[in-house]
Amino acid sequence: MPPLPHDEATANLFFDGLGICCFNSNKIWEIGFLRDDVHEHDLILDIDGHPDMPLPIEDEHGVVIRITTVGGISQQTDYPKGYFGSGSVTDRKKRPTSLEEAENFGWVIDLEKPGDIDHGTGHLTKPPGIPVTRTFIHDAVFYTASLPVKRTHRLLDSQDGNGLSDAEFEALLFGRENDLIGADIKCGSRGAINIAIERTHAPTRNYSLPHRPSNPWQISLTNQRSTPVRIQKPGAKRQHPRRKGDFQRYYRAFKLDDVRRQRALWGFADAIDAKSGRTDCNIVFAGTSPNLDGLF
């Protein structure tokens, strides 16, 4: 499979943070961004070079973001499942050796593939007490835009990674997951990408981005902490470098048939993480659901 021609797209989109994505039965991508009430995440839309950006998205129920096209070019023939690559990774512990391997969407953890994170079967559910911002993305092909340098370790959520010996911790090595999801949208020469942000009790905000040949718009939606987080103060007594990530937060929106199998991903955090202060904060996939209705 040849690499994706990113420069030929009308827009290159990037998604990161707490969210669940799905290629729905209407062949449209969806992302449900979980508006976490513990780690103070902010959902931010950014369009490179646009005077109104970056734009915080309101943390409230009923917000819907629609990314649609005028003169959009369907990529269904080349990518019938909506994503680039095979959709699976043979060994997460090894680095990819080609661009095709690196951009394989299979690096994204599939909540509905029981063996992917090894938590068994479950289903989407409305997360109690927090809004979910639903986003629809038309005519897009998704791929893995980047992978983390460090690898994570897969533990049960009930386990304390700092209570394990080095050998015990290393035996639970999981490997790498997506650090950033990318998506390319193509339109014809007279086409455009339209972004609408709908709220229940406020006017819809609209942005139109005309096709620019060989100059794709750079668009991002990130659902993370917006300010730097210091993990360890200068001069403080050294703490254990192992840190628990955010993966277990997904079980508010994905109910396992056996809750005892809930997982957590642990890793080694840097002294300062300007993105989220966590060892992982990455979008996951619902690979068999026909849509994300279960979150609402």
Which tens digit of pLDDT belongs to each residue from 73-129? Answer: 999 999 999 999 999 999 999 999 999 999 999 999 999 998 899 999 999 999 999
For 137-174, the pLDDT digits (tens) are 999 999 999 998 889 999 999 999 999 999 999 999 99
| Type of residue numbered 145 | A
**Is pLDDT of 279 > 80?**
no
What is the value of pTM for the model shown?
0.93
Confirm if 264 and 156 have CB atoms less than 8 A apart. Answer: yes
> Which carries the bigger pLDDT value, residue 275 or residue 249?
249
> Does the pLDDT value for residue 277 go beyond 80?
no
